Amino acid sequence: MSRLDETHDPARRSWVEGANDASTDFPIQNLPYGAFSRDGSGDGGAVRIGVAIGSQVLDLTTLEEQGVLRPGGDEAVFADGTLNAFMALGAATWRQTRHRIADLLDAANAPTGDERAQVSRALVPMKAVRMHMPVFVRGYTDFYASREHATNVGTMFRDPDNALMPNWLHIPIGYNGRASTVVVSGTDIRRPLGQLKGPQDDAPRLGASAKLDMELELGAIVGTGNPMGQPLGTAQAYDNIFGYVLLNDWSARDIQVWEYQPLGPFQSKAFGTSISPWIVTRDALEPYRAPTPERVKPLLPYLEEETPNNFDIRLEVDLAPQGQAATTISRTNYKYMYYSAAQQLAHHTLSGCAMEPGDLLGSGTISGVAKDSFGSLLELTWNGRDPLPVEGGTRTFLEDGDTVTLRGWCEGDVRIGFGACSGTILPAPDGVPA
For 300, which DSSP code? P
Q: What is the pLDDT of residue 37?
A: 97
- What is the average pLDDT score of the chain? 96
For 180, which DSSP code? G
For the chain, the C-alpha Rg in angstroms (whole number) is: 22
Burial of 212-222, coded b for 16+ CB within 10 Å and e otherwise, reads bbbbbbbbbbb
Q: Count H helices, E strands: the chain? A: 9, 26
For 74, which DSSP code? T
pLDDT tens string 364-385: 999 999 999 999 999 999 999 9
Provide the residue type at 427 as one letter. Answer: P
Per-residue pLDDT of the chain (434 residues; tens, 9 = 90+): 578 999 999 999 999 989 999 999 999 999 999 999 997 666 778 999 999 999 999 999 999 999 999 999 999 999 999 999 999 999 999 999 999 999 999 999 877 888 989 999 999 999 999 999 999 999 999 999 999 999 999 999 888 888 999 999 999 999 999 999 999 999 999 999 999 998 889 999 999 999 999 999 999 999 999 999 999 999 999 999 999 999 999 999 999 999 988 888 999 999 999 999 999 999 999 999 999 999 999 999 999 999 999 999 999 999 999 999 999 999 999 999 999 999 999 999 999 999 999 999 999 999 999 999 999 999 999 999 999 999 999 999 999 999 999 999 999 999 999 999 999 999 999 877 76
Q: What is the pLDDT of residue 429?
A: 94
Q: What is the pTM of this model?
A: 0.96
Pairing of strands 310-311, 289-290: antiparallel
Concerning whether 149 is annotated as a catalytic residue, the answer is: yes
Task: Choose, from 149, 170, 347, 348, the residue flagged as catalytic.
Answer: 149
CA distance from start to end of the chain: 62
- Taking the C-alpha atoms of residue 194 and residue 91, their distance in angstroms, rounded to an integer, is 43
Q: What is the pLDDT of residue 1?
A: 52
- Taking the C-alpha atoms of residue 93 and residue 68, their distance in angstroms, rounded to an integer, is 15
Q: What is the pLDDT of residue 140?
A: 98
Domain ranges of the chain: 6-132, 140-426
Domain 6-132 classification at class level: mainly beta
Architecture of domain 140-426: Alpha-Beta Complex (3.90)
- Taking the C-alpha atoms of residue 132 and residue 82, their distance in angstroms, rounded to an integer, is 9
3-state secondary structure 140-172: EEEECCCHHHHHHHHHHHCCHHHCCCCCCCCCC
